[in-house]
Structure formats: C-alpha cells, structure tokens
Structure 1
Amino acid sequence: MATQVLLVDDFDHDTRADHTLVFAFDGETYSVDLSDENAAEFRELMAPYINVATRLGKHRPEKNPVNGKRPSPALARPSMPSTTNGKPWYKSEPGGPAETEKAKKRYRNMARDWGRENGYDIGDRGVIRDEVYVAFEEHRLAKGLPVGPASVGLS
C-alpha cells in the first residue's frame, strides 16, 4: 500500500498547497505552504516592499522531505533594482565614498556591456534604461550570480 502526502494551504486550511514560499522578516526565516491563489496574493502584497528593499542574496532552503523539492522563493524575479532614497543603488552620489562610487561605476559598465551584447539599444551617450538593469539582474539570477550591490562587492 502506498502512502500519499498532500500539503494543505497553511492560510485557509481548506485547499491543496501548490507552493512552499520561504521569506525572512525581522531576522527570522519562515516557510508557508500556499495554494496558487494565496501564493499570488502573497506575492502581490509583498511586491511593493520587495521592490524598494535591498537584496541580500539567495537563501537555499533545505529540500522538502515530502516531495524532495526546494521551496520556491516568494518573488524570484526582480521587477526593478532596489533603491535608496528613491534612487537606484547604482546611481552616483555626489561626495560618496570613492570605493563605493567606483563599484557602482563597475556595475553600470557591466550592465551596459551586457545590454549591448544582448541586443539592447544603449544609444550613443551610453544611457542605460531601467529595463536593461532589470534584464541584467534577471540574467545574473538565472546564472546563480550575485545581484545588486553584492555583484560588485558592496553589501
């Protein structure tokens, strides 16, 4: 006789859970099993906060003993690189520390070069549109590379 284990949505306790989402808050890491509908609602509610947060890197949770899979992250895709004071982290700050400004410039150059190599219109002045930064970060995420400030050694 085979045993079948079904995960139940932790939020409503009535529907089958389709996703295990992992997130951290106030120094604690949490895992919640949710249906497609509740997972979409969770992502929608968290998106405004995640869009302005500083990404600290990936957390690789242990595999689920029931299905052998790793939980899916709450938001796997960046919608816009994180900002500081309403300004993307990689933009220059007049009077900022020289090493930090050099690292930001390195990041902008990496994104510009990647954009040109991947068919994005960078233009004669070398202005990089936000969509290039987003695509560049998605590319780095897919490759398992650090994103955001961590990609150039900033924390």
Structure 2
Amino acid sequence: MAKKVIETLIDDVDPDTTADETVEFGLDGVAYEIDLSSENAARLREELDMWVSHARKVTSRRRGGRGGTRAGSRGGADREHSAKVREWAKNQGLNVSTRGRISAEITEAYNQAH
C-alpha cells in the first residue's frame, strides 16, 4: 500500500495560518528563524525596515568560536602594546606570562598607570 505524507508548516505567530516561508534574521550575535505566512513575513520586514535602513550590512560572518581578532592575526601595534604591558608588569613585580593573554587585572592596572 502506498502512503503519502504531507507536512504542513504552521505560522509561528498565528498557529491558525499556514506558513509560506521561513524568515532568518539576527540580533546581538544570535541567529533566529521563524516560519511565517506571506502576510506576517511582509509585516516583519516592514517593522524591521526602519532599523535596517540605518544599519550597516555585514557581508561575511565568521562561524563558531568567540568573536574578535584571532591570536594569529593580530597586528604589530597589538604585539608592541602587549610587550609594553608585560615589561611594565614585570617592573612592578607582577606575575605576567611571557605569552598568551594578559589578565584583565594587569591590563587595568597598566591603563590606570598610564
């Protein structure tokens, strides 16, 4: 016997309505998707339009990991600054590693001193 399975996508805002599309959007580094009817999708786009029209478009996004600069791609200025902070910390008798991330406490103390 043959069987035909029909899957119906329901609008996440109005469960009495069939969803026509899945809309993806992001905010504060979190990606969202929502299933909406054509009407609700248009309404969402219309409501976001004021904000989008003033925003900058990000063309590529790094996946996974923490945001910010990767350790291997830091510029020379960052390395020079880190070296100055380490030298200052050693002269102050603070325990600072020769490599890796400098603790927030040491960075804060350096910034206050300079």
Tell me the TM-score normalized by structure 2: 0.49
Tell me the TM-score normalized by structure 1: 0.37
Higher radius of gyration, 1 or 2: 2
